[in-house]
Structure 1
Amino acid sequence: MQTPLKIAVVGSGLVGSLLAIYLKRAGHTVDVYDRSPDIRKIQFSGRSINLAMSHRGWRALDEVGLGDEIRKLAIPLEKRAIHLVGQPLAYQYYGKEGESIYSISRGLLNRKMVSLAEAEGVNFFFESRVWDVSLETATLHTGETERGAWTDLDYDMVFGADGAFSRVRHRMQRQNRFNYSQEFLNMGYKELNIPANADGTHKLDKNSFHIWPRQDFMLIAMPNMDGSFTCTLFMPFEGEKSFESLKDKETLEQFFATHFPSTVDVIPNLVEDFFKNPTSTLVTMKCFPWTFQDKVALIGDACHAIVPFYGHGMNAGFEDITILSQMMEQYGDDWTTIFKEYEKSRKPNADAIAELSYRNFLEMSSKTADDKFHLQKKIEKRFSEKYPDKWLPLYSRVTFSYRPYSEALAIGDRQKAIMDEVMRMEGIENNWDKPIVDARILELLEQ
């Protein structure tokens, strides 16, 4: 337990709610502010991508005894199911036997996290707009409008967990020597839905992450507990095959019939969902520093928003909390040191998962449909099973381990260079499982 402080968390999303539980368990008074209504009282749909919980996220939940409660909301996904036009369904397993990522509805999880935090004694203030924060005094400024009367709320400390367009970070950006960048992809995403069968079962294999890879665009589907799938269409905003080009019912239906024929019978509300749901943007945001003295700190998307193609936005945010908690245990009441060590530890790893996430779009949209890529993965899997101390595939290092993201990026680059050499071996298609290939990989690892 630390010396009790009065702490405000801005943002009641997944990271804000879990952080509030950790802070409450450490003995603090915790108030959470969010400009939105209580998520437990509203319909949540229309702009979401299902979450993929993996080792790092589970660790943060398990350390406060909440993992088993959340596992009740999750469906294990052991493999990718690749849907190609005119070809049979193909499967790619993620890791070793028993290793899975877990599909969870964002809305379902967020509701549960708020309720769990409330049960711990955390105070929530919904529909409360934080317009600014005084960094030196950890004072929040709330009000109905940005230019109207504000109420000042004094705290010992403030955490900004208010997402990629954080108001807390907006204030920190106005300091000298604060670095900030944001980069939008030229593609967006739109939520669609595959409803359950009449008996409540899933229309597609429920333990697969379904991908329809089409190079410049793709469709994914992840299962929900009620038998439905949340689908996400990723496409460029403009161009020949883009959101801009799908302007009416006929064009949309023809596009799906041509490029996603296996979905025609399972997405009955395609037209309604497509034109009703918003087209959302994809942004990578980086900044530094993440903290101000011992008063204010950013966490989660507020300091490192990433694109969703590795499924690690939530996992990275939850790992922020794990590292912060370790620093709290190590340094006691020395919050200046806690904050400095927290941002020093997390910044390189946040940058690394941002890069890995961007690269993984190329893998998901193009390479999953490529025969040479499949062969390369088979070689890597076979070699790693034979020499587990010498080779852990990049995906497993990111998703099924707790090793730093920055280490995964560096080792992944080295492994890619080795596999590029291996794939150039004469007759690799016929000799991929022969001792000569093992010998070549071992040789390259020694260099």
Structure 2
Amino acid sequence: MQKPAITIIGAGLVGSLLATLLAQRGFPITVLERRPDPRKFGFLGGRSINLALAERGWHGLRVAGMQERMRSIAVMMRGRMVHDLNGRTNLQRYGRDDSEVIWSVSRGALNMALLDAAEAAGATVHFDRGLVSVDWACMDLQFRDSDGTEHSHHAGIVIGADGAGSALRGAMAAQQELGERFEPLGHGYKELEIPALADFPREQLPAELADALARGERYAIEPHALHIWPRGNYMCIALPNAEGSFTVTLFLPNEGEPSLQTVVSAKQAREFFQRDFADTVPLIPELEKDFVGNPTGLLGTLYLDRWHYEGRALLVGDASHAIVPFHGQGMNSGFEDAVELADLLESRPNDCAAVFAEFERRRKPNADAIAAMALENYVEMRDRVDDADYLLMRELDRLLADRHPGRWVPRYWMVTFSRIPYLTAFERGALQSSWLREWIDGVSSIDQLDLPAIDMQIRNKLDFLPTDA
């Protein structure tokens, strides 16, 4: 049976993976992307938070046959390296050992690898094609390139993987109510960089880093961690890149003190960092230049009540459920979309209306769940990672996981190291968190707890979870 041709709008991470998976299954695939080809013209920086690749994302890459390609561009992160105001550090592991880690990946490097994979699978990719309009009656799509030239493309089925500002979503909304709403976080971000030691300006290289460079080291700080400088209502994070640099991201409120309104100039940026992130200042030689020159990123959550239009158009990834980046799951969730959709289309290639409806039914509750957990994780990262009660809850969480394997499963583990549905992780995590708060109320150490009574409550009230998912 001949499979229908599919047009994908957007050659970013999700669009490129989806194109690969569908082309590998025998679908004729055309991808149109508004940006130039990053493999020829470079990847646009300055507003690209590094990606945290977890099990859900790895699964999509394994299905596409890309696991080996990833080894050269992914850096293992064992846990959160928390930096206090005095420069002291504390590593909080994500899992029990190095079998439970996440991986830092440069968005640009991953996108280029995915584009190579899509084309190798047989997909046709056109760059410099920004979607202008859709004639839904005849399914003719109009595009415009950077020179202003118009291009037409006929599509039988069109899938929008064109991000939070999706042009296809706008065209669909003109035809039917999607129930779109965007909830801004009230915070934005600035991207900075800790360069690889070999790339440091020699006159700005601190003596201890010069010694590290002489020993052949590449990284200025511990490479196998996600670094966090939590400061209450704001924070910095730094994720390692394969060549030795770190992408540093400052998250600040849009208003108030300090905020993106009060820290504006190069001088204000340096004074702010010297006060609140002093140990980073020697590590970011182009602090002022990057702060002033890089754009301010916006943060928020996109919700839609409806993701598809009949059997003709569907939205996936950020185009349908963009979230804030604080659980590191935006890409991972989008890759889950791609695998789920590819499987559904392969099973019913000539009934796209049913496939699109089933895809939305399966994925939307999970998208809403990870959106909620990402918002919760921002508060945890910026305000709680050095809080005594949080650390005690975390210690007890791990202890109970060891005492009740498969029955007590930490929420972070469910989200990050398994493919348990996000909704299950959200609901089960909420229950377990309420119990943890109840159990540690009024105590200062694990030794003060009645563990046999806690064990009995867990055995009586919690079922086993399929943790091999």
Q: Deviations over 1:221-244 (max 9, x none)?
A: 000011100000000122210122
Q: Are residue 124 (structure 1) and residue 125 (structure 2) matched?
A: yes
Q: Mean alpha-carbon deviation: is it higher for 297-306 or for 4-13?
A: 4-13
1:35 and 2:52 correspond: no
Q: Which residue of 1 is the match for residue 374 of structure 2?
A: 357
State the distance in 1 between where 2:127 and 2:349 align.
31
Structure 1 equivalent of residue 7 of structure 2: 8
- Tell me by how many angstroms 1:114 deviates: 0.9
- Partner SS for 1:3: coil
d(CA) in 2 for partners of 1:421, 1:19? 44
Which runs of 5 or more residues in structure 2 are unaligned?
199-212, 462-469
State the distance in 2 between where 1:68 and 1:410 align.
35
Deviations 1:190-241 (A, max 9, x none): 1000011134611111100000000111000000011100000000122210
Return closer, same or farther for 1:442/1:219 CA change in 2, 3 Å cut-off. farther
Partners of 2:379 and 2:186 lie apart in 1 by 14
SS at match of 1:359: helix
- Three-state SS of the structure 2 residue aligned to 1:294 is coil
**Which one of 453, 459, 463 corresponds to residue 439 of structure 1?**
453
Query: Per-residue deviation at 1:330?
Result: 3.3
Which range is displaced more, 368-377 or 209-218?
368-377
Task: Check conservation: 1:137, 1:295, Cα contact below 8 A.
Answer: no
Q: Deviations over 1:241-293 (max 9, x none)?
A: 01221233332222111111111211111111111111110121111321222
| Counterpart-to-counterpart distance in 2, 1:410 and 1:46 | 36
- Contact 1:383 / 1:438 at 8 angstroms: preserved in 2? no
Identical columns (%): 38
Q: What is the distance in 1 between the residues matched to 2:452 and 2:285?
A: 49
Query: For each residue in 1:67-105, what CA deviation from the matched residue of structure 2 results, as whole angstroms up to 9, or x when unmatched?
Result: 221232101111110000126311111012211110000
Whether 2:405 is the aligned partner of 1:391: answer: no
TM-score scaled to structure 1, two decimals? Answer: 0.94
Which residue is equivalent to 2:308?
291
Secondary structure of 2:252's counterpart equals strand
1:182 and 1:219 mapped to 2: Cα distance?
Answer: 25
Find the counterpart in structure 2 of residue 173 from structure 1. 173
Q: Distance in 2 between matches of 1:176 and 1:119?
A: 36
Paired residues of 1:80 and 1:209 also in contact (CA < 8 A): yes
Shift of 1:312: 0.6
1:214 aligns with 2:231: yes
| Inter-partner Cα distance in structure 1 for 2:371 and 2:456 | 30
Distance 1:271 1:157 in 2: 47
1:129-177 Cα deviation digits (max 9, x unpaired): 211223454321123599x885432122111110001111111112344
Query: Contact 2:87 / 2:278 at 8 angstroms: preserved in 1?
Result: no
1:307 to 320, 324, 329: 324
Question: Take 2:68 and 2:446, find their aligned partners in 1: how far apart are those partners?
Answer: 45
For residue 368 of structure 2, what is the amino acid of its counterpart? D
The answer as to whether partners of 1:135 and 1:292 remain within 8 angstroms in 2 is no
SS in 2 for 1:124: strand
Distance 1:380 1:112 in 2: 38
The corresponding residue for 1:104 is 105
2:19 counterpart letter in structure 1: A
Long gaps (5+) in structure 1: none
1:325 alignment partner in structure 2: 342
Q: Which moved more, 1:116-125 or 1:164-173?
A: 116-125
- Give yes or no for contact 2:5–2:156 (8 Å, CA) kept in 1: yes
- Classify the secondary structure of the residue corresponding to 1:264: helix
SS in 2 for 1:409: helix
- Equivalent residue letter for 2:364: K
Match of 2:210 in 1: none
Q: What secondary structure is seen at the aligned counterpart in 1 of 2:264? A: coil
CA distance in 1, matches of 2:444, 2:390: 12
SS of aligned partner of 2:88: coil
- Is residue 139 of structure 2 the alignment partner of residue 158 of structure 1? no
What are the equivalent positions in structure 2 for 1:262-281 lying under 5 Å apart?
262-281=279-298
Displacement, 1:315?
0.4
The answer on whether the counterparts of 1:239 and 1:245 sit within 8 Å (CA) in structure 2 is yes
CA distance in 1 between partners of 2:32 and 2:307 (Å): 19
Q: Which amino acid aligns with 1:197?
A: L
Structure 2 equivalent of residue 143 of structure 1: 144
Distance 1:67 1:243 in 2: 39
Q: Which moved more, 1:127-136 or 1:162-171?
A: 127-136
Is the partner of 1:265 in helix, strand or coil? helix
2:128/2:146 contact within 8 Å kept: no
Letter in 2 for 1:29: P
Partner of 1:380: 397
Deviates more, 1:248-257 or 1:339-348: 248-257
Displacement of 1:430 after TM fit?
A: 5.5
> What is the rounded CA distance, in whole Å, between the counterparts of 1:350 and 1:134 in structure 2?
29
Structure-2 separation of matches of 1:176 and 1:50: 35
Aligned residue in 1 for 2:466: none
Amino acid at match of 2:39: R
Alignment RMSD, CA only?
Answer: 1.9
Structure 1 stretch 64-73 or stretch 293-302: which is displaced more? 64-73
State the Cα distance separating 1:332 from its structure 2 match: 4.3
Task: State whether structure 2 residue 77 is matched by structure 1 residue 63.
Answer: no
Report how many aligned residue pairs link the two structures. 442
The 8 Å contact of residues 136 and 295 in structure 1, kept in 2 or not, is answered as no
Would the aligned equivalents of 2:3 and 2:349 in 1 still touch at CA under 8 Å? no
Alignment partners' CA distance in 1, 2:346 and 2:30: 22
Aligned residue in 1 for 2:445: 429
Tell which deviates more after alignment, 330-339 or 4-13: 330-339
Q: Out of 288-297 and 363-372, give the one that drifted further.
A: 288-297
Q: Is the alpha carbon distance of 1:137 and 1:389 closer, same or farther for their aligned partners in structure 2, counting shifts above 3 Å?
A: same
Equivalent residue runs for 1:189-208 within 5 Å: 189-198=189-198, 199=213, 201-208=218-225
SS of match in other structure, 2:406: coil
